[in-house]
Amino acid sequence: MGNKECPNGVAIPPPQPFMKSLKYSLKETFFPDDPLRQFKNQAASRKVVLTLQYFLPICEWGPRYTLRFLKSDVIAGITIASLAIPQGISYAKLANLPPILGLYSSFIPPLIYAMMGSSRDLAVGTVAVGSLLMASMLGKEVNYIHNPQLYLHLAFTATFFAGVFQASLGLFRLGFIVDFLSHASIVGFMGGAATVVCLQQLKSILGLERFTHHADLLSVMRSVFSQTHHWRWESAVLGCCFIFFLLITRYFSKQKPKLFWVSAMAPLTSVILGSLLVYFTHAEKHGVQVIGELKKGLNPASVTDLVFVSPYMNTAIKTGIIIGIIALAEGIAVGRSFAMFKNYHIDGNKEMIAIGTMNIIGSFTSCYLATGPFSRSAVNYNAGCKTAASNIVMAIAVMLTLLFLTPLFHYTPLVVLSAIIVSAMLGLIDYEAAIHLWKIDKFDFLVCISAYIGVVFGSVEIGLVIAVAISVLRVLLFVARPRTFVLGNIPNTGAYRNVEQYPNAKHIPGMLILEIDAPIYFTNASYLRERITRWIDEEEDRIKASGLNSLQYVILDMTAVANIDTSGISMFEEVKKIVERRGLQLVLVNPGSEVMKKLHKAKFLDEIGQRWVYLTVEEAVAACNFMLHTYQPNPKKDESGGGWNNV
């Protein structure tokens, strides 16, 4: 059956079976990228190969791998390994975990990601914000000093649940959940978390043995300045020197991008110099704290260490979900950024499966949360990596370190690790992005600064809740308070535009033309009814003040109304009654297919009169002008309501 049409050419779509509509809606929600398209019209054997390539992209690019790619990936892998080793040790300390776990987490997860990840540039490893979140949330349940073994096992368990959650989002195509963390909220949250991480490093930089377990600014400042007599000048001088060195190398590399390796090698250089300095001066005897012994050997199994008993399991699940979301948001954002630079596409859901799987397997092999940190991925990108094989090279370098080189880190001063963390975190405080938000969108800036303040003055969890809550609130405001505009005619054209945006747009005598700029649902139906009524009041007041002809027609441009629910239809019925009581005629312009279908089923088109539905604003204005000049001022005296037989 073909489409029906209103007298003025606006089509009414034919009815669709419910299951077909449901199938279409589900496909658009969960499969917008149509991942099954490549399987169409393929032989069974080919489908098996494509399935394998989907879940293991290494099977796709591996057969095409060349010696030229290997050379580039080896250079990139060795470069990021020089950054991953000191960063891994530093971030493990930040998470209140044994330093060796930072190396474990830079060995197994990169191997898994190299096989399953779709990004060529993402360099996998531990991250500062995830480490801080884990320390903050687990530390409320278990004291890592009094019960280090339980704390360690909870870290593995939280990593396991983070991986399960991440992989589930990918498998069930629920990646859009991560999108509720807006760019503005991430900028604020990351900046706040980086500030908190830097403040936490004052413990090692000042050589303090006692320090607050709270992460907020006031608690840290109170802890620092209440122990001024315990400050160690040797440690402070050493820390400031290494921070200065790391920042200078970063600045130098930014000025000359070809010398990216200078800043990439700086953390490892700092570790070597710091260790030699402590070894030859015996600075550990003068208040400079060192790492101490690191266990040699590869990752031991930890699958039996996972904690699945109450009340600790609840803490592990909550921690895992939160750190899992943050890790996904960072990893996918970083991957997409570099994919854009190299003009290739990464599959967000596939990335979630890869990151989730590597964390699940990592939790079985003494690793904690890993994702794709920006600093490491930027070095990987600048080093000229060609494929994810650079992660394999990095993992091999870390493996050799675990097998043979861990005793060399015995004299590494903790203050050097703190300097590495501080220099990395300063890059996450993106004040330029905050200034940009202020210039472009003040509400986005409010989201950003609220998340920042929540983290710095409250806690990481409070900041995260504020970031998500304000982002969701903004979405709700967009839905619940859609914009409506008065349209006017651009002189000498048939175009009708917002009179506020185009001051030269002219009001049409006797008509109020409104544009509704959003779908109409139960959340905004009452607001739109009240707003349309107020527009009518304001237009009548304007007409009275200017002495023009009285208002006769209310024209609603519905081009931007993609959908409507039953509350929206009820709203139109109420607006129709309000308009009729004032002796006016309601006119609809260009309702979309879904809107037309539902208005037709609800018989609202028959109530308003199908002759009052037009394809364009220009046609509606022309018809209303004709009526104004042909009939009496009140069109309701002439029209009975319309219908198919009225024309």
Which H or E run contains 106?
none
Is residue 286 a contact partner of residue 278, using CB atoms and an 8 Å limit? Answer: no
Reduced to 3 DSSP states, what percent helix, strand and coil does the chain have, rounded to the nearest 5?
Answer: 65, 5, 30
Tell me if 204 sits within 8 A of 463, measured CB to CB: no
**In the predicted model, is pLDDT for residue 460 greater than 90?**
no
Token look-up 């997860």 returns 109
Side-chain half-sphere CA neighbours of 492 within 13 A: 1
151 pLDDT tier (thresholds 50, 70, 90): very high
pLDDT at 640: 39
Residues sharing a CB contact under 8 Å with residue 176, sequence separation 6 or more, in sequence order: 29
Closest CA to 345 of 332, 357, 356: 332
Going by their DSSP bridges, the two strands 484-489 and 496-498 should be labelled as antiparallel
Mean pLDDT of 421-436: 86
Given a cut of 90, is residue 581 above it in pLDDT?
yes
What is the model's pLDDT at position 643?
37
Summarize pLDDT for 264-295 with one digit per residue, the tens: 788 888 888 988 988 888 877 776 778 888 88
pLDDT of residue 584: 92
Q: What is the per-residue pLDDT for 642?
A: 40
Closest CA to 97 of 395, 369, 372: 369
> pLDDT confidence of 4, banded at 50, 70, 90?
low
Q: What pLDDT score was predicted for residue 646?
A: 36
With beta carbons less than 8 A apart as the criterion, state whether 89 and 128 touch: no
Name the residue type at position 447.
V
Full-prediction pTM beyond 0.85?
no
pLDDT tens-digit profile of 162-200?
999 999 998 888 777 777 777 888 888 888 888 888 888
Residue 639: pLDDT above 70? no
Enclosing H/E stretch for 55? helix 44-55
pLDDT attached to residue 637? 40
Give residue 33's pLDDT band: very low, low, confident or very high (50, 70, 90): low
How far is the C-alpha of 555 from the C-alpha of 614, rounded, in Å?
10
Q: Is the pLDDT of residue 641 over 60?
A: no
Cα dihedral sign, 428-432-438-444: negative
CA Rg value for the chain: 32
Reported as a pLDDT band with limits 50, 70 and 90, residue 321 is very high
Q: How does residue 3 score in pLDDT terms, banded at 50, 70 and 90?
A: low
Could you tell me if 341 and 120 are in contact, meaning their C-beta atoms sit under 8 angstroms apart? no
> What pLDDT shows up at residue 394?
94
